[in-house]
Amino acid sequence: MTRPSGGAPWPDATTRLVVLLGWPARYSLSPAIHNAAFAEQGLDLAYLVAPTREGDLEAAVTGLGAIGAAGANVTVPHKQAALPLCDHLTEEARLVGAVNTLVWTTDGLLGDNTDAVGLQEALTDDVSVPRGDRMVVLGTGGAARAVAVAAGRLQVELTVVGRRADAALDVAELARRAGAPSAMAVDLAEQDAVAAAVAAAHLVLNATPLGMQGERLPDPFHDLRAGQVAYDLIYDPPQTPFLRSAADAGADAHHGIGMLVGQAAASYRRWTGRSAPLGAMSAAAVAAVAERGRGS
Q: Are 25 and 54 in contact (CB under 8 A)?
A: no
Task: Indicate the DSSP class of residue 43.
Answer: B
Question: 203 phi and psi, to 5 degrees?
Answer: -120, 125
Q: Enumerate the active-site residues.
A: 79
CA distance 195 to 217: 12
Q: If DSSP codes are grouped into helix, strand and coil, which group holds residue 45?
A: strand
Contacts of 140 (CB under 8 A, 6+ apart): 160, 162, 163, 164, 167, 168, 170, 171
CA distance 244 to 254: 10
Q: Are 120 and 150 in contact (CB under 8 A)?
A: yes
pLDDT score for 63: 98
pLDDT score for 94: 95
Residue-level pLDDT, tens digit, the chain, 296 residues: 789 777 788 899 999 999 999 998 888 999 999 999 999 999 999 999 999 999 999 999 999 999 999 999 999 899 999 999 999 999 999 999 999 999 999 999 999 999 999 999 999 988 989 999 999 999 999 889 999 999 999 999 999 999 999 999 999 999 999 999 999 999 999 999 999 999 999 999 999 999 989 999 999 999 999 999 999 999 888 899 999 999 999 999 999 999 999 999 999 999 999 999 999 999 999 999 888 876 54
- From-to residues of CATH 3.40.50.720 in the chain: 116-255
Q: Are 284 and 259 in contact (CB under 8 A)?
A: no
Pairing label, strands 157-162, 183-187: parallel
Q: In which element (H, E) is residue 163 found?
A: none
Starting at the edge strand found earlier in the chain, the sheet holding 183-187 runs 183-187, 157-162, 134-138, 203-206, 229-232, 252-254
CATH 3.40.50.720, domain 116-255, yes or no? yes
Q: Are 37 and 277 in contact (CB under 8 A)?
A: yes
Q: Are 158 and 180 in contact (CB under 8 A)?
A: yes
- From-to residues of CATH 3.40.50.10860 in the chain: 16-113+261-293
Q: Which CATH superfamily is domain 16-113+261-293 in?
A: Leucine Dehydrogenase, chain A, domain 1 (3.40.50.10860)
pLDDT score for 294: 66
Produce one character per residue of 212-233: b if its CB has 16 or more CB atoms within 10 Å, e if not. Answer: beeeebbebbbebeeebbbbbb
pLDDT score for 9: 87
pLDDT score for 2: 87
pLDDT score for 296: 45
* Side-chain-facing half-sphere of 96: CA atoms under 13 Å: 34
* Side-chain-facing half-sphere of 88: CA atoms under 13 Å: 9
pLDDT score for 38: 98
